[in-house]
Structure 1
């Protein structure tokens, strides 16, 4: 009964993969233990995926694909299963982000996920409420790291990130976590397709006081704006509303430190640790 409840509550893509895995296994006349042995996994690991007790990792899928000679059927699920690793309210945005021509974000609380180190991303969950169990944390962190593929994608995407100074001064995880995170920001800023800017606290009043936002330009050059907070999100597509937010972002960018000044600012913060 517990397994049935777990299966029914699993995301649809995870349930579908469980069924797709079971069919070729049974057709090949293999038990879960026998398939596990061919994959260098335990039978209980195969059972966990087939009962939806645990979502499959990319490595598990590759091993099952090879062991069952599935002709690409299992591996084709990776793209869709990756979306299930993200919170439900974020899944639609991730699809748009990974295909976007440009992504421009203004961050008021945390460093943009595209530029986070794995250690910084993991440390964020230490403060999550309600608490998140370790297994889910690992999946969420892995999903966030997957987003970085955008930075190296062909054709190249243009990424602009404006960070409030307070975001940089908040020592998530402590100095040992923040030092490499500062280094990561500086390295990203050196890329030809990435711009990093800092909004200093000395700008007492500026156009960004209404809150964070992310602007996207889709492959067909349609502008969109993504707004998120407290586990909820809004995707703004009405041209007049997008226009207002785009002009606001442009003003925020003009009021922030320039790219070179921003790198110097981040280097100074790193020197204070």
Structure 2
């Protein structure tokens, strides 16, 4: 029995990657459309499911799941399917849609907001912000969660978080402000070498022209961020959305008065933290001590 779905279908082997689709998710219609397209190309090529599966090097079960819209295939699957069926890029062109489809719904919604934002204000007091994390750091961080993620869930979370880092490559580039508590630079998530590479990544990001990375030293007695993270995303039309663990029950808000409260708190934290230059020097010292 497949433990993920409760069905009697065989479990996909490790070389049959992909993620199951939630039928209640609006993205399901996109995945179903891909499945119908693949099936039409396969039948036009005169291939049975078994013959097609052998041709692309994946299991018959995975092919059937993709064609009925129950499985989100990975990019390498799409490329092999396109080549085997002579689809002239029509199937591999779905790479971007399938990449977005495999992210959890909440992550997709967040990624859409980040894609629109012209300014991001991000204060983190417990862990490094997801946009700053290296892949190995985030794997180690997500790996300590209890109850533990299933392997497929973990891969999905990592893929989604890595994709969000495209915010650093946007043009025009948004203004990004990160404030990290010192403890997030000290905790050896994943071990010493993982932390070293993570600190190197922070130095790399902190030197980008559109990024201000600041450290809040533990020696500071207190500030308005003591109750938890603060995030604000501002958009080109003058609107914004924000949230904080310590305000409005942690829910996202867009009311101007509520946003003003979050911005006030963030501004005080920003003023009390080390300057961006001091912060880079602080991270360099932390790297040398790791």
The equivalent position to 2:256 in structure 1, one of 224, 236, 239, is: 239
Match of 1:30 among 40, 47, 69: 47
Question: Residues 65-84 of structure 1 correspond to what in structure 2 (within 5 A)?
Answer: 65-70=82-87, 73-75=90-92, 77-84=94-101
Compared with structure 1, are the counterparts of its residues 34 and 234 closer, same or farther at alpha carbon in structure 2 (3 Å cutoff)?
farther
Query: What's the secondary structure of 1:192's corresponding residue?
Result: coil
* 1:254 aligned partner: 271
| 2:175 matches 1:161 | no
Q: Cα distance 1:15–1:108, how it changes in 2: closer, same or farther (>3 A)?
A: farther
**2:33–2:69: 8 Å Cα contact kept in structure 1?**
no
1:149 alignment partner in structure 2? 166
Unaligned runs of at least 5 residues, structure 1: none
- Structure 1 residue 121 and structure 2 residue 138: aligned? yes
**Cross-structure match for 2:17:** none
Partner residue, 2:7: 2
2:129 matched to 1:112? Answer: yes
SS of 1:148's partner is helix
C-alpha displacement of 1:187: 0.7
Q: Does residue 211 in structure 1 map to residue 204 in structure 2?
A: no
Whether the 8 Å contact between 2:21 and 2:71 is mirrored in structure 1 is: no
| Alignment map for 1:169-184 (pairs within 5 Å) | 169-184=186-201
Determine if the alignment matches structure 1 residue 103 to structure 2 residue 120: yes
Cα distance change, pair 130–261 in 1 and its aligned pair in 2 (3 A): same
Contact in 2 for aligned 1:200/1:257 (Cα 8 Å) = yes
User: Per the alignment, in what secondary structure is the counterpart of residue 101 of structure 1?
Assistant: strand
Given the two structures, how large is their TM-score scaled by the length of structure 2? Answer: 0.81
Structure 2: runs of 5 or more not aligned: 1-5, 10-19
What root-mean-square deviation, in Å, do the aligned CA atoms of Structure 1 and Structure 2 show? 2.8
Residue in 1 aligned with 2:78?
A: 61
Alignment length, in residue pairs?
270
TM-score, length basis structure 1: 0.86
